[in-house]
Chains A and B, each alone.
Chain A
Amino acid sequence: MASVAQTLGTGTAGTIQNDESIVVRFAGDSGDGMQLTGGQFTLSSALAGNDFATFPDFPAEIRAPQGTTFGVSAFQINFGSGAIDTPGDAPDVLVAMNPAALKTNVGNLKPGGLIIADEGEFGARNLAKAGYEVNPLEDGSLAKWQLVKFNISQLTLEAVKPFGLGNKEALRCKNMWTLGLALWMFDRDRQPLIDWLNGKFKKNQVLADANIAALNAGHAYGETIEIGGQVKRHHVNPASVAPGLYRTITGAEAVAFGLVAGAQLASMPMFFGGYPITPASSILHYLSNLKEYGITTFQAEDEIAAIASAIGASYAGQLGVTSSSGPGIALKGEAIGLAIMTELPLVIVNSQRGGPSTGLPTKTEQSDLYQAVYGRNGDAPLPVIAARSPSDAFDCAIEAVRIAVQYMTPVMLLTDGYIGNAAEPWAVPDMSTYKPFPVKFLDEVPEAGFKPYSRDAKLARPWVKPGTPGLIHRIGGIEKQVDTGHLDYSPANHQAMTDIRKAKVDGIAHGVPEQDVTLGAAGGKLAVVGWGSTYGAIHQAVSRARAKGLDVSQIHVRHIWPLPTNLGELLKSYDKVIVPEMNTGQFKTVLRDQYLIDAKPVNKVSGQPFTIAELEAAIEEALA
């Protein structure tokens, strides 16, 4: 069977090729609207019933100089009729809106893949900005791919001419023209997009009409080039998914919704203290719009104030939540220790990005695991949960809230830039199937008398709201006496309190599910152990390796700290363990430390997610 890439450009006119899955990458200048194009194409894929995964890949600069390679913004989508776990290793189709977009993205295009280039943007200036001496569309350097070029800019200008827009505004419709062509190529209905444009430009019908005209023109152009047989149409059948209501969701939305759901299940108002940071700010944005859910959002003066105010809110009887990315989490470190010491519930979300220091603000990485598990002064145990995908982030956020309020502890929820921005289809959950865990404040003096640091079966101390008569007490970051909570520096007491804090967090492992084998058998030659956003790539790689008859299983860990009680035994039932991570081997070190097993690292720190092929190679190497 010819690969998708091979058939893309060479079809016969009038036929539509059926494919299982296709990877398309839209790349252009930051100002070209590629994220919007990708987002709308994603919706169209959803409505066509495909499963999909997306990967928005944008520059750190807000408005990088036009035409430069560092100003390129890209959006990749993998859609298919089977289960799709990753945005795809390499695109079958690359839409390049200018030379810089071509230059930075063509290297990854599958051999035989299709390039659609806007040749109107390949003038001398743009070529120079991208560092091309000769026009790559003319010099044969793209020979190993199928190249289709036309002047999208010019065609767009012509299409929107009747609407009398200025040149700049008219050119802004380029992305809709391109989207129209893509809709034609992949046999998609235009109507939902037309509805969406009418809604988006409600207040400016001319703009709506111009964009719709561009969309239609792109679509019509497809019909024309089809006549020339340059580009072939493709159809991807709907994926077989369980009946129900679906929506697209990004990790940032899922975290926000999960926090709202968690607060509701806990019967608690939520206080969210945040400070703007890429890629975590969107959680603050989402929650700021949901005040009717009993949510107070507070944009603090800095990261420290963001967490300190959340701690203050938890102390006063709300669910305190804060979120950030690595550099901000570093600033919050001392305050996390305060929440551990005062034993107050708190959820801390870390949307990880490339580090250290400012690092790669818009790129993804998993390199804050040490920071989450170990990164504080003193013996400061902190439960850590990692979400594996955008939709999983919803359940993880609920779980973080549950642990925080039931164990009176701060909890760290790890996501990353990839999960935060990527979209996937999500079967909207039925909230009535979630078990509530309402918080019970202590509101009267217990029979045995009130002790602020007395313990329940989970070793959690009582949560008392200031304002409650009879339960006046003081807390703080200084070591406190077992039970009474009075200041106490004595050696035996510090030993006892350190032991209790550790035992409490260790005990959480008894309240979470045992580790399952995500794919494959318990025991065997090789376990691929992952955590966080590498889930999809590992899943595909393991499933392909198993299809080839290799004895390999996937184990994907949600509870990073404390680890599930059976994980050690489970890992010891395999001859070999490899741990793919987007860092230099952090979880691998934790596993080695906890279980004295010879876990081997598979690392990638390029700011890009693993490809399936990379992991397949790692599996084959481990089994060789």
Chain B
Amino acid sequence: MNDMTPVKTSPKDWETDQEVRWCPGCGDYAILKAVQRTMPELGVKPENTVFVSGIGCSSRFPYYMETYGFHTIHGRACAVATGVKLANPELDVWIITGDGDALSIGGNHTMHLLRRNLNCQILLFNNEIYGLTKGQYSPTSREGTKTPSTPFGSVDRPATPCAFALGSGARFLARAIDTHKNLPNVLKAAHAHQGAAFVEIFQNCIVYNADVFADFTDKANAAPNQLWLEDGKPVLFDGGNKGIALDRDKLQLKVVEVVDGDWQAAGVIVHDVTNRSVAHMLIELRLQDGFPVALGVIFDDPRPTFDSAVIAQNVAVSKGKTPDLQGLLAKGQTWTVEKENTVFG
């Protein structure tokens, strides 16, 4: 933004008059509310904000935000957003996508947007299912998921969105849960990051994949199974009774008991959002292996953005050159015919 003066808005200012059409009880409602609550805190102007989406339940999102919005085609939100941002880097661009949209049909664009590091926020609503097309398994569905297209259970191994993003070169990774109170904080951190900020939001599809995340999102399971990361803080969970330490022999993370709050004695590591190696290990922690799910800002280490590099080069190579179309047309292999048939090279 050119004008950095924070703008005063209320959550209401970010709501449209459009009827929201998600299924009752869908996790998307909670995410929409969280985003509308977060926007005023960012101090940005609705007219400078653009929400770009692909296709899928989540991709209806822009219609409900009182900002500029572009509901594009399946898988291509990242590509459209790249054009938007390069054409006008002043715009604050948010991409709304889902597991099928971003990792299946649009996987290529997601990878390249992250690699290039376009300055934008990508919110990937992961519900591990195709909702809009009525419940087929998705690239993040777990093995054995029974759906209309996999009546005997899926046999292919799921993708891990954050691992895909990190492998693609993402410089910001975060995870959140649709209904969790920490979502706005994660969104704020994503917005503060200069560059592509990749946020995976576990979203409950109540119709086709209800409670698929309940193992760690349910209140009863939250404490032992949610690992909320904070930069500079020890990596603790389960009310501080457990922590994550480095198994130096195997070079992998392990769960340790913390006695009397003495996490240092237990060897618990301190979260450093700029540590890419540890970020790799954190996103691979799986419930079935006895680990909690890493949540919050996992990795945040900015690099120069694609849009700023493009603009900088446009400016640099144009320096000292005056656009002169007439001159351009007359360049190269030219000759003049003065009178008929008299040629001058």
Contacts and interface: CB of A to CB of B under 8 A. Distances in A.
Specify whether A and B are partners.
yes
B108 interface: yes
B112 A305 contact: yes
A474 B70 contact: yes
Contacts of A260: 325, 328
Interface in B285-312: 310
Contacts of B33: none
Chief secondary structure at chain B's binding surface: mixed
Interface stretch (A12-20, A293-301, A362-370, A545-553): A293-301
Nearest to B88: A316
Nearest to A486: B18
A240 to B, nearest CB: 5
B224 interface: no
Nearest to B109: A305
B176 interface: no
B62 to A, nearest CB: 5
A311 B88 CA distance: 13
Given A290-B328, A335-B73, A474-B71, A271 B86 contact: yes
Interface stretch (A109-117, A413-421, A464-472): A464-472
Given A293-B325, A472-B66, A312 B47 contact: no
B315 to A, nearest CB: 9
A48 B344 CA distance: 9
Interface stretch (A200-208, A241-249, A277-285): A241-249
A245 B336 contact: yes
Interface in B325-344: 325-326, 328-343
Interface residues of A, number: 74
B151 interface: no
Given A302-B108, A305-B109, A477-B73, A467 B88 contact: yes
Contacts of A477: 55, 71-73
Interface in B39-88: 45-48, 50, 52, 55, 62-63, 66-73, 76, 78-88
A334 to B, nearest CB: 6
B143 to A, nearest CB: 29
Contacts of A291: 313-314, 317-318
Contacts of A244: 336-337
A183 to B, nearest CB: 14
A4 interface: no
B63 A474 contact: yes
B341 A312 contact: no
Given A308-B72, A309-B80, A476-B62, A318 B87 contact: yes
A466 B83 contact: no
A473 interface: yes
A264 interface: yes
A428 B324 CA distance: 14
Interface centre among A248, A467, A475 (most CB of B within 10 A): A467
A308 B314 contact: no
Contact of A243 (B73, B112, B339): B339
B84 A305 contact: no
Interface string B105-123: 0001101100000000000
Contact of B341 (A43, A49, A302, A478): A49
B91 interface: yes
Contacts of A472: 46-47, 66-68
A597 B161 CA distance: 58
A431 B108 contact: no
B90 interface: yes
A313 interface: yes
B69 A475 contact: yes
A120 interface: no
A310 interface: yes
Nearest to A257: B329
Nearest to A319: B87
Contact of A431 (B81, B321, B326): B326
B322 interface: yes
A235 B226 CA distance: 88
B83 A338 contact: no
Contacts of B239: none
Given A271-B86, A291-B317, A467-B91, A240 B76 contact: no
A237 interface: yes
B282 to A, nearest CB: 28
A543 to B, nearest CB: 21
B345 A312 contact: no
Interface of A is mostly: mixed
B72 A309 contact: no
A237 B86 contact: no
Contacts of B78: 305
A313 B70 CA distance: 12
A342 B84 CA distance: 15
Contacts of B232: none
B90 A467 contact: yes
B70 A243 contact: no
Contacts of A308: 72-73, 76, 79-80, 82-83, 109
B83 A315 contact: yes
Q: Which of A48, A294, A315, A429 has the most CB of B within 10 A?
A: A315
B24 interface: no
A474 B61 CA distance: 11
Contacts of A447: none
B80 A315 contact: yes
A291 B66 CA distance: 35
Interface string A210-241: 00000000000000000000000000011111
Given A246-B337, A318-B87, A467-B91, A312 B321 contact: no
Contact of A296 (B46, B87, B111): B87
Nearest to B316: A291
Contact of A46 (B76, B87, B331, B333): B333
B325 A264 contact: yes
Contact of B318 (A292, A430, A467): A292
B47 A293 contact: no
Contacts of A335: 73, 76
Interface of A: 43, 46-49, 192, 237-248, 257, 260-261, 264, 269, 271, 273, 290-294, 296, 298, 300-302, 304-305, 308-318, 320, 334-335, 337-338, 342, 428-431, 465-478, 486-487
Interface pairs A-B: 7 shortest CB-CB: A312-B83, A476-B71, A309-B83, A308-B79, A474-B69, A316-B87, A466-B68
Given A247-B330, A292-B322, 6 more contacts: A245-B334, A308-B83, A312-B85, A316-B50, A316-B91, A475-B70
